[in-house]
Amino acid sequence: MEKQKIILDCDPGHDDAVAILLAAGSPQLDLLGITVIAGNQSLEKTVRNACRVVQWIGADVPVYAGCDRPMVRPQIIAKDIHGESGLDGPVFPPLAKSPEEEHAVPWLIRTLLESDGDITVVTTGPMTNLAMALRLQPKIADKIRRIVLMGGAYANGNVTPAAEFNIIADAEAAHVCFTAGRPVTMVGLDVTRKVLCTPEIVRRMAASGTCASRLFVDLMRHFCRTQKEVFGWPGGPLHDPVTIASLLDPALLTVRPMNVQIELRSTQSYGRTNCDYFGYLGLPATADVAIDIDVGRFWDIIEEGLRRYPSAG
């Protein structure tokens, strides 16, 4: 079986951390590198968190620090959900893993240019790194096999009524990526809100007893608590791993091709992903938008992913 080559661009973040666990441990995926962006916390913290997760699972994956702020708009972070460290909850051992010297953007450009056009770029944070790479070297667009992003919503946002965090955090960058002319799969809140990590799910994953499941449990205890405090929900929506799970099982998501445009000019609706669900505009579809998810299958994929790791001992 040929492995799918992927780059994971993320802002860990509790759900990003689970996406790393799933991607790094999968025999179906070749995780070429993790590029990191400021988002859930400052760049310094999200890079440290990516290194902490990679070290925890003993993965041999390079981590590249990327942009420390959005292209145009003022920076926002998600401290209320992810805590002061960006990954509150687990007690991590002293950090030995460090990021590579090279900045994420030139690394993305080099890696994509040298590729056979067979790399899927998965983004689970603000899309600044990929957008900057596309602006610096437009030739990489033809080399991207596909962009799979967690972000947006055709219904309700989670930062404003209109906008989801990863898009509103850098809507100009999202616009650059959505208009790059490559196949885009948008995994938005419409589906990720259906995979609520409840205390029952946490108990189920704990039973695996691996080093990855131990990290999952420590992460999710914090994540579920803050999601309950902030949004009043019985569990945390495990947004980001849906992207990786959809690569592992293409039948996981039901998608609908839609014309998607990022709102950049409005005050109230800045960062909204305007998805033409019913095709009113008569414009070509620009993205496959996820509209449903097989929730049971998703948790099976998470459990299989966690079980692949060695026992916590």
Active centre residues (catalytic): 11
Using the rule CB under 5 A, is 124 a contact of Ca ion? Answer: yes
Cβ nearer to ligand BDR, comparing 123 with 208:
123
Residue tagged 């056979």 (tokens): 116
Which of 91, 172, 39, 25 is CA-nearest to residue 47? Answer: 39
The rounded distance, in Å, linking the Cα atoms of 288 and 159 is: 23
Q: Looking at the chain, how many residues does it have?
A: 313
Using the rule CB under 6 A, is 165 a contact of ligand BDR? Answer: yes
Q: How far is the CB of 107 from ligand BDR (least distance, A)?
A: 21
Q: How far is the CB of 49 from ligand BDR (least distance, A)?
A: 11
Phi, psi of 262, rounded to the nearest 5 degrees: -90, 130
Using the rule CB under 6 A, is 239 a contact of ligand BDR? Answer: yes
Among 9, 15, 263, 276, binds ligand BDR (CB under 6 A): 15
Cβ nearer to ligand BDR, comparing 125 with 143:
125
Are 245 and 274 in contact by the 8 Å Cβ rule? The answer is no
Using the rule CB under 6 A, is 40 a contact of ligand BDR? Answer: yes
Phi, psi of 148, rounded to the nearest 5 degrees: -120, 115
Q: Going residue by residue from 49 to 68, which x/- string records binding to Ca ion, judged by CB under 5 A?
A: --------------------
Are 149 and 133 in contact by the 8 Å Cβ rule? The answer is no
Among 104, 109, 132, 150, binds ligand BDR (CB under 6 A): 150
Using the rule CB under 5 A, is 125 a contact of Ca ion? Answer: yes
Are 72 and 172 in contact by the 8 Å Cβ rule? The answer is yes
Number of residues lying near Ca ion (CB under 5 A)? 6
HEC string of 225-239 equals: HHHHHHHCCCCEECC
Are 130 and 177 in contact by the 8 Å Cβ rule? The answer is yes
Using the rule CB under 5 A, is 13 a contact of Ca ion? Answer: yes
Sheet of 63-65, strands arranged across: 63-65, 29-36, 4-10, 119-123, 144-150, 184-187, 287-293, 253-258
Among 41, 46, 124, 129, binds ligand BDR (CB under 6 A): 124
Among 26, 46, 166, 185, binds ligand BDR (CB under 6 A): 166
AA letter at 125:
G
Report which residue's Cβ sits closest to ligand BDR. Answer: 165
What is the DSSP code (8-state) at residue 98? -
Among 22, 78, 105, 219, binds ligand BDR (CB under 6 A): 78
Using the rule CB under 6 A, is 158 a contact of ligand BDR? Answer: yes
> To 10 degrees, what angle do helices 211-231 and 14-25 make?
150
Among 9, 16, 164, 288, binds Ca ion (CB under 5 A): 16
Q: Going residue by residue from 231 to 250, which x/- string records binding to Ca ion, judged by CB under 5 A?
A: ---------x----------
Residue tagged 């490559």 (tokens): 182
Interface residue list for ligand BDR (CB under 6 A): 13, 15-16, 40, 78, 81, 124-125, 150, 158, 164-166, 239-240
